[in-house]
């Protein structure tokens, strides 16, 4: 089955934990998203981020990769529950792109037993998420 939606950032708190050079650093970000469409609810994420290049004057020029764990709570095509994603992504030229893997055994409620993969992207055209799953 396939579900698609959009998302928006509700909260973003990012903190430096290792300054490697003047342009290279590592951070931890605590993020909350709201989602709508066939994927409806909220997602709470902890990201670890590595910036190959960071431009403090224009962050959209920065280049980074990140990993995270996302806890989704809400509905997928009307079925309510929650589960956890593993997230691997990059940020280049002002655009984020990620691949997602639902962690086996993390589903609860009507989403118990959910399996699958997904992807999301955010750029000047908006923020979109797509999920291919079995339930």
pTM over 0.85: yes
* 120 CB-near residues (< 8 Å, 6+ apart): 7, 96, 97, 98, 100, 127, 128, 129, 130
* Domain containing residue 75: 2-134
pLDDT per position in the chain (135 positions), as tens?
Answer: 999 999 999 999 999 999 999 889 999 999 999 999 999 999 999 999 999 998 888 877 889 999 999 999 999 999 999 999 999 999 998 899 999 999 999 999 999 999 999 999 998 888 999 999 999
Give the number of domains in the chain: 1
Instruction: Let me know how long the chain is.
Output: 135
Q: Residue 6 belongs to a domain with what CATH number?
A: 2.40.350.10
């Amino acid at each position: 089955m396939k579900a698609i939606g959009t998302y928006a950032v509700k909260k973003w708190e990012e903190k430096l934990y290792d300054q490697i050079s003047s342009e290279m650093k590592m951070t931890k970000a605590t993020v909350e998203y709201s989602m709508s469409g066939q994927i409806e609810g909220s997602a709470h994420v902890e990201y670890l981020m590595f910036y190959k290049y960071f431009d403090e004057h224009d962050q959209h020029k920065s280049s980074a990769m990140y990993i995270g764990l996302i806890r989704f709570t809400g509905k997928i095509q009307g079925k309510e529950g929650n589960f956890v994603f593993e997230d691997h992504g990059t940020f280049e030229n002002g655009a984020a792109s990620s691949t997602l893997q639902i962690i086996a055994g993390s589903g609860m409620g009507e989403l118990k037993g959910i399996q699958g993969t997904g992807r999301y992207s955010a750029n000047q055209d908006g923020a979109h998420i797509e999920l291919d799953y079995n339930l």
